[in-house]
Structure 1
């Protein structure tokens, strides 16, 4: 079918008669490429789509990051500043040369409406100037890779933004020292090592989610989880990420967070292979949880043990009657009216 210019103009005219609120909802369903194309249709669509396109600025590739920095460097880039609320660096192995770090810093410093800042990188990137000078009045989430070169600047940044932070991720490949506790009264979720957790003051915080990773590769227990008991009782989800997953870690979590609803264990390397005796041991630790409903374990076992998978799940349910979903050894079991069934392979 051939669409004439008159028909195309009529179609555009019909769309523009829709309420602005409805157009806004339509634009939010578009892909990034479709939204960019809509900006080129008319001044109206450009005005409607631009704030939505730039509200969350994240990148899949280095090329996208460079294109964004070039856009912000133009005179028109200043008009985009009020719209940007979420900025996240690409997860690819980007080579952060000093010139690129400086360009990122220049683009980020004016973003006074920023709510989410993700500076977690695979490389040791300091962002010293940004961390020392930036002030984001509305910042609620901060993800950062910490190393000896930037630890002092990171701590200063946290002290300036501590009153409003609700989500914090502190990632590091070697131990870092926090000389004095940092007060985070609004924190709701935290991703950090157990040692960093011990240096954060979250006694008054509405903390509900913890992701704790352990850098040790040896089969040792986690360091004692240092958290105020009243705060621990508010936590509802705990995830452990370990190079080696010690079974005793189940006991550490059960003692510290007996009221959690969700407990997950993720292997940072290859999935952990556990024995039949350790499966029984897990059951004894599950007895200490009183409200646990979801258990996700990124651990494997020998085929001869896995053949008894249904019996294992029933045994764990006998230890913890609140369980309703268990992921274990590549399968997910769901409970309905005290009957368990492995419905699907775990994703």
Structure 2
């Protein structure tokens, strides 16, 4: 049999001998550049590579944002190829400033595009507050949304509960960024998220959780602003969280002692297993500070891990303090004293 050049080429093609499922699985290990190249190779490989290429979108610059939106706008769906938006499972913005200089029409297109990511599993809208998603909060619904992060403009706060409640059976991780003063927050509808495991955000929002939501949360990250002076009031909201085992506090005002926070922890969540504290300013732990902290740790009968430090402090290496704290709390298995500076090595002491 005589083969034409095209037939001979097709006979030797890897796509002839491997099932599409295998080819698609191999593509999950390809780089973004390789996937783009595959899309230009043939119709078959393009149809297999596109879902992988657009499955996870991570944007860190204005140029990347504009290029992504330009692509989404230019490629039209056909009867044989779905919309690119149908492939997106994760949409993350790694730099909040990347939308700052978007033209108005481009920003409007982004706002109208996100609700079309019907199969989203993770959505991170941690943009600067100049970009709003009012239409999405009012109407959008994602059947598989598990992780949701959003920078909330104050006037959009009242829309957040209804959006969350439309995803009550799927959301497990919730992160909210808000500059709203706790005393100025309007009354919000009750939030029903019975599968919620992790909450990251301001304390005021917790008071709108219903009982099923409160009882399901296992990990809380609370962010304090300079005007958040009432630590006890904030931690009181954690008391009903019967499943809570890990508590992290960030941005604690510099002039509020760690002992104040720990006393409130012992009062409201005495069964906590992991505690991490981060202060706004530099505040290296001195031995007198350590002496004051020890009695607070003694009240935490179930504490396994204690993590303390600040954003601008220096390395801290004092085994005397470690022994002091481990003696005060017999259940501790690790103590971490560190800063967030990239070059810092953390002190991690395994206690017998």
Q: Is the 8 A contact 1:264 1:296 kept in 2?
A: yes
C-alpha separation in 2, matches of 1:219 and 1:227: 15
Show the counterpart of 2:151. 145
Native 8 Å contact 1:297 1:328 kept in 2 = yes
Equivalences, count: 328
8 Å Cα contact 1:259-1:292 kept in structure 2: yes
Larger proportion of strand: 1
Matches within 5 A, 1:149-160: 149-160=155-166
Structure 2: unaligned runs, 5 residues or longer: 1-8, 339-343
Distance 1:168 1:32, change over 3 A: same
> What is the alpha-carbon distance in structure 2 between the residues aligned to residue 186 and residue 337 of structure 1?
34
Residue correspondence of structure 1 range 1-347 to structure 2 within 5 A:
13-14=13-14, 17-18=17-18, 20-76=20-76, 79-93=83-97, 94-95=99-100, 96-175=102-181, 177-180=185-188, 181-204=190-213, 205-216=215-226, 221-227=231-237, 229=239, 231-244=240-253, 246=256, 247=258, 248-267=260-279, 269-299=280-310, 306=316, 309-329=318-338, 330-336=344-350, 338=352
Q: Shift of residue 218 of structure 1?
A: 7.6
C-alpha change, 1:19 and 1:177, in structure 2 (3 Å) is same
Change (3 A) 1:25 1:313: farther
User: What are the ranges of 5 or more consecutive residues in structure 1 without an aligned counterpart?
Assistant: 1-8, 339-347
**Following superposition, which runs of at least 4 residues in structure 1 exceed 6 angstroms of deviation?**
300-303
Deviates more, 1:309-318 or 1:202-211: 202-211
- Deviation, 1:336, is 4.5
How far the C-alpha of 1:136 sits from its partner, in A, is 1.9
What's the CA shift for 1:105?
1.8
SS at match of 2:320: helix
Change (3 A) 1:226 1:302: closer
Query: Normalization by structure 2: what TM-score?
Result: 0.80
**Residue 155 (structure 1) shift:** 3.4
**Do the aligned residues in 1 keep the contact of 2:283 with 2:313 (CA within 8 Å)?**
no
1:252-304 alpha-carbon deviations (Å, 9 max, x no partner)? 2233333333322234x43433443321222222223333333222238998x
TM-score by length of 1: 0.81
Contact 1:224 1:252 in 2 (8 A): no
Quote the RMSD (CA, aligned, Å): 3.2
Q: Give, in angstroms, the shift of residue 48 of structure 1.
A: 2.6
SS at match of 1:252: helix
Give the conservation status (yes or no) of the 8 Å contact 1:273–1:300: no
